[in-house]
Structure 1
Amino acid sequence: MSSPPTSSAMAAFPAPYDPPFLQHYSSLFPAAAETERHEAGGVIEECELPVIDLKDLQLGGEEERMGCVAEIAAASSVWGFFQVVNHGISKELLKEARREQRRLFHMSFEKKNGSKDLNESYRWGNPTATSLDQFSWSEAFHFPLSKLSEGGGCDEDEFRSLRESMQKVADSMSQLARILAGVLAYNLGCSDDFFTENCRENTCFLRLNRYPSCPFSPETFGLMPHTDSDFLTILHQDHVGGLQLMKDSKWVSIKPNPEALIVNIGDLFQAWSNDVYKSVEHKVMTNSTVERYSIAYFLCPSYDSIVSSCKEPSRYRKFTFKEFRRQVQEDVKTTGYKVGLSRFLL
């Protein structure tokens, strides 16, 4: 077992709002890396995701609309990720949400960790991690959309502006997610009725992420490698960078573009499309000097919804979202890692 962190390493994190990562997970971090950050070996290629202008989808003629559909489908098949501009979500709203997000995360750790006013939605680190490659140096608030709309404890004066801002962001991202899901279904010649009937407000989520600076161990994940267990994810990130994804069997670093939203395919859409669209492994790496923020919207069905390929013959057996989530949780608990769709292959 590694030695506990040195006092100088502890002193690198004096902010009262930072989670006590080192104190709680000291055994995971090599003692030699705790006081100084060295460059990791290997060069990660930086690339820019496909950028798709959605104005042609809304305002273009037939040729322009079909061209936009083709771009979205191609990016979802080849990359599993793409960026969208002219997406209909105002810059002012996203700036307002970022201000509220920053204010929330800069509350004291004790208040974030113990507040019932936030529906006990706070998460940090990985309680089950037994090694550094199972650990995420990050904190998050994971809100079911139903909790935002109901208000709950978030109606307290201190959190009212946060709840209102996040509700507006969730509504806007929800509308965009359904448009994109409809486009992808249309490209396959399938109806989008499944998303209309099963992906409702009380089944979808909004997640606020913060990745504190980590001045040592450059191999530390801000978010460990994974695929998303939903249909679609819409991500608003800042200028800091750190997002990496698997492309052609190697990790590539995504150049940040705060003017665009990132969209990625989740496991359920890969199964529903019979592997036409790809749910791609991705991760977030820590930054040595600055914190990073992002907001993610997850388009999910109800737990009892049956997921099956929209065209036969299917590569996957039918399963419910509840069954999928339970299997993921069991695998993570048993092995430390998500296994995902391969569990449901025929």
Structure 2
Amino acid sequence: MTVSFVIPTVDVSVLRNPSPSPSDLAPIAAQIRSACTTSGFFQITNHTMDAALVAKAFEYSRKFFSLPLDSKLAAKGQMNGYEPMGANAAAKGTLPDAKESYFVGEEGRSMSDMGIGGNVWPTDPSLPEDFKSTILAYRSQVQALSFKLYSVIALSLDLRADFFDEFLKGDASAARFLHYPPTPQDAGGRQKGIGAHTDYGGLTLLIQDGVGGLQIHPTGSLDDDDAWQDVPPVTVPSGAPPAIVCNIGDFLQLWTNGLYRSTVHRVINLSGKERYSIAYFANGGMDNEVEPIEKCVELTGGKKLFEKVTAKKHIFGRFKQSFADAQKST
């Protein structure tokens, strides 16, 4: 029997209220809980991000990726800045991912113990003068929205709204601007825009353009290649901010002892067009420890299914593996 998911679209306009009460948030918390216990994916509309800023960030992303390669490579840093095509492989046994990206973390911050340098800004004179300020404004807005969503997720687990606040202290999460050219079809099916993977951290917020290509796997059994399910872009009214795809990462699966699902997904761009998206990985502070929440352990049978781990160890380990797998595949 073919398994498929309903990926709900949740109207989160209540988050525009500066101080919504738990009762105000209860209806969207219930919808998010339902999504997180099934597909691990949901889309939100009528959120707090500014539509004009989002459009401008996409425009500037396209301008950056259209630069000559030398200009883009000049903005390459230590796991920040520009990441060229084929730099990593999200899935083992595949060709390197057919994408290029540009990472932006908290301005002025580096994490030398993880080999992560500070932001690196392009200097090509053809880019708009407000390139940097626009990209940082985008990151700031999506970070603020992610904090609100963590509060709703806490309520969805019948926890205090501020349950994840300690984890979010010292947050240096990155926005990743992505460009996927049409995926080559002469690679025996081994090359994707990004191969099958789960997200490393807590919560991902993704804005995609209208091209499509994001897919999830309902069972995670990748031998069944016919089971991949599209996550199509949601159409919103003119002038409204675009829908945001939200998905649970490994940390929330661990916290909830498997109650919430970190689902395998990939991107394969078969449209024949250029695809652009912006992901924000809301991963909190890197020195925080993550372990199953006692209430969730009780709800899932009483046995802890995951060991305690630091955010730094888990994320850094996954990153290193993806770069190593790319080297093996070339």
Task: Provide the TM-score with structure 1 as the length reference.
Answer: 0.74
**Correspondence list, 1:104-253, <5 A:** 104-115=64-75, 121-127=81-87, 133-147=94-108, 154=121, 158=127, 160-191=129-160, 193=162, 195-200=164-169, 203-214=172-183, 216-217=185-186, 219=189, 220-248=191-219, 250-253=227-230
C-alpha distance in 2 between matches for 1:243 and 1:182: 26
Which one of the candidate residues 280, 283, 289 is aligned to 1:306?
Answer: 289
Give, as a single letter, the amino acid of the residue that structure 2 aligns with 1:145: E
CA gap 1:223/1:333 in 2 versus in 1, 3 angstroms:
closer
C-alpha distance in 2 between matches for 1:330 and 1:62: 40
Residue 51 of structure 1 is matched in structure 2 by 9
Are 1:125 and 1:137, in contact at CA under 8 Å, matched by a contact in 2? Answer: yes
Structure with higher Rg: it is 1
Give, as a single letter, the amino acid of the residue that structure 1 aligns with 2:231: I
Are 2:76 and 2:83, in contact at CA under 8 Å, matched by a contact in 1? Answer: no
CA gap 1:61/1:322 in 2 versus in 1, 3 angstroms:
closer
Q: What do the CA deviations read for 1:310-334 (whole angstroms, capped 9, x no partner)?
A: 2245321111112213432465467
- Whose helix proportion is higher, 1 or 2? 1
Other structure's SS at 1:279 match: coil
Are 2:75 and 2:121, in contact at CA under 8 Å, matched by a contact in 1? Answer: no
Are 1:195 and 1:301, in contact at CA under 8 Å, matched by a contact in 2? Answer: no
CA shift for structure 1 position 57: 5.3
C-alpha distance in 1 between matches for 2:160 and 2:100: 38
Unaligned runs of 5+ in 1: 1-43, 338-346
C-alpha distance in 1 between matches for 2:289 and 2:267: 31
Which one of the candidate residues 230, 233, 239 is aligned to 1:256?
Answer: 233
C-alpha distance in 2 between matches for 1:163 and 1:294: 18
CA shift for structure 1 position 164: 1.1
C-alpha distance in 1 between matches for 2:321 and 2:311: 15
Q: What do the CA deviations read for 1:221-243 (whole angstroms, capped 9, x no partner)?
A: 00111111111110011000000
Q: Which moved more, 1:228-237 or 1:283-292?
A: 283-292
CA gap 1:50/1:141 in 2 versus in 1, 3 angstroms:
same
Task: Provide the TM-score with structure 2 as the length reference.
Answer: 0.77
Are 1:235 and 1:262, in contact at CA under 8 Å, matched by a contact in 2? Answer: yes
Percent identity (aligned): 27
Asked if 1:68 corresponds to 2:28, the answer is yes
Give, as a single letter, the amino acid of the residue that structure 1 aligns with 2:37: S
Unaligned runs of 5+ in 2: 111-116, 221-226, 236-241, 298-302
* Count of matched residue pairs: 294
Are 1:117 and 1:154, in contact at CA under 8 Å, matched by a contact in 2? Answer: no
Give, as a single letter, the amino acid of the residue that structure 2 aligns with 1:171: S
**Correspondence list, 1:244-323, <5 A:** 244-248=215-219, 250-257=227-234, 259-287=242-270, 289-311=272-294, 312=297, 313-323=303-313
Asked if 1:82 corresponds to 2:42, the answer is yes
Which one of the candidate residues 32, 48, 51 is aligned to 1:91?
Answer: 51
Q: What do the CA deviations read for 1:271-307 (whole angstroms, capped 9, x no partner)?
A: 1122121110100002352100000111113222111
C-alpha distance in 2 between matches for 1:135 and 1:110: 21
Other structure's SS at 1:88 match: coil
Q: What do the CA deviations read for 1:73-95 (whole angstroms, capped 9, x no partner)?
A: 11111111100011011211111
CA shift for structure 1 position 266: 0.6
Q: Which moved more, 1:283-292 or 1:306-315?
A: 306-315
